[in-house]
């Protein structure tokens, strides 16, 4: 393994690092920011903002689908319901 790393040029490592950074931003950072933005603003968004958010959801769908099973943004209920 060390012999393989010594033969890889620094430019190649830089390019691989940039690819990993872009992939991390596309699949992790932006989708999480978008999820929390939608959670905070869902009930007060205007038409233009909602259209922009829908476009971002379309653009970042692969990252959003990765986090969908782990995030729950359902609205809280009205507390306990006592039988009448």
* Residue range 47-68: mean pLDDT, rounded: 94
Q: Of 55, 65, 1, whose CA–CA distance to 27 is shortest? A: 65
DSSP alpha helix (H) spans, 1-84: 2-7, 10-24, 30-41, 47-59, 61-67
Predicted confidence band of residue 10 (pLDDT cuts 50, 70, 90): confident
Q: Taking all residues of the chain, what is their mean pLDDT, rounded to a whole number?
A: 87
**CB neighbours of residue 3 within 10 Å:** 6
Distances (CA, A) of 14 to 9, 10, 29, 73: 9, 6, 20, 38
67 burial (CB, 10 Å; 0-12 / 13-18 / 19+) is middle
pLDDT surpassing 70 at residue 41: yes
């Amino acid at each position: 393994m060390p012999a393989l790393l010594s033969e890889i040029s620094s430019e190649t490592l830089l390019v691989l690092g940039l690819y990993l950074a872009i992939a991390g931003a596309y699949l992790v950072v932006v989708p999480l920011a978008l999820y929390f933005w939608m959670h905070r603003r869902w009930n007060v968004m205007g038409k233009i903002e909602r259209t922009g958010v829908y476009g971002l959801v379309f653009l970042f769908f692969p990252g959003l689908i990765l986090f969908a099973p782990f995030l729950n943004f359902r609205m809280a209920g009205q507390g306990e319901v006592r039988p009448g």
